Homo-oligomer: A and B are copies of this chain.
């Protein structure tokens, strides 16, 4: 069942059938009807690789570290909903947490002639991203950039972190610690760089610079265990901790729970990401919502624009919102 069969059945040339298939310019309405009817009747399905050979694959590749992240799920949904409307499909590829793994998957996606690429929080330098952008339309998520060669969509991490500090200060806290992901200390492309900056700026704005304490731990479950220990080792105990990311906060809660200590009795705790788990009854973690779905929609829109010809770059910053829940309360005795 090929396009030749369809053309024969409809009594037109393959070229015309192809135009109808692609909704391309240069076919009369009558012809479109005829061809579409034949396609329907014959149950014709276009052959992906054959299309990819000459034209487009109508497929957008999305690279993520691992798929076990509720934020990615929302993001993928958002991208998917937008690009489907333009008859593109979405293909997701889990690439792991190593540079080489991500590079392999990225190359594989390019080899498969994806029409566009989405890289989510990639472990790649800005140079490598620009290199990639020369090969394929590119939109990067969660990487702050101002490159001329690709688009980016990121949360306003600075604002998000300051939202948390403002909320804690409003509750009466002064000694507020922040858990930092070491990797991003010096890299302005990373979200944690901006969250730290937002935390620092907000503390200063409230005249609390002296009360600030930054703990060094990776943003992972293991990092959360470390962070819980680091808090205890602080010379002066904070009354509140901004964990920087939900996964860290959840691990800290887990670790304290193991020691039969509880949040918010031990200290107030906030995360970042509004993961599904954070909303659950017995947890109710105060966090920051990034609206993954909306970010995904933006990504989809930017990528389709770029595939259709835009060449100048766009860099969107999305506004996060605070989700105040049960893990942040007024400090005791103050």
Contact = CB atoms under 8 A, between A and B. Distances in A.
A196 interface: no
A134 to B, nearest CB: 14
A53 B74 CA distance: 34
A220 interface: no
A74 B67 CA distance: 9
Interface in A111-132: 111-113
Contacts of A93: 89-92
Contact of A92 (B70, B94, B277): B94
Contacts of A107: 45
The A contact surface, by secondary structure, is helix
Protomer copies: 2
Interface centre among A45, A59, A67, A74 (most CB of B within 10 A): A67
A91 B89 contact: no
Contacts of A45: 107, 110-111
Contacts of A217: none
A48 B255 contact: no
Interface string A87-99: 0011111100000
Contact of A281 (B59, B74, B76, B253): B253
B280 A254 contact: yes
A66 interface: yes
Nearest to A279: B254
B48 A112 contact: yes
A161 interface: no
A304 interface: no
22 contacts: A45-B110, A45-B111, A46-B111, A47-B111, A48-B112, A49-B51, A49-B52, A49-B112, A66-B77, A67-B67, A67-B92, A68-B73, A68-B276, A73-B94, A89-B105, A90-B93, A91-B93, A92-B94, A254-B281, A277-B277, A280-B283, A282-B283
Given A45-B110, A68-B70, A254-B282, 11 more contacts: A49-B52, A49-B57, A49-B113, A68-B74, A76-B94, A91-B93, A250-B280, A253-B280, A253-B282, A257-B281, A258-B281
A-B residue pairs, 5 tightest by C-beta: A257-B281, A49-B52, A68-B73, A254-B281, A48-B112
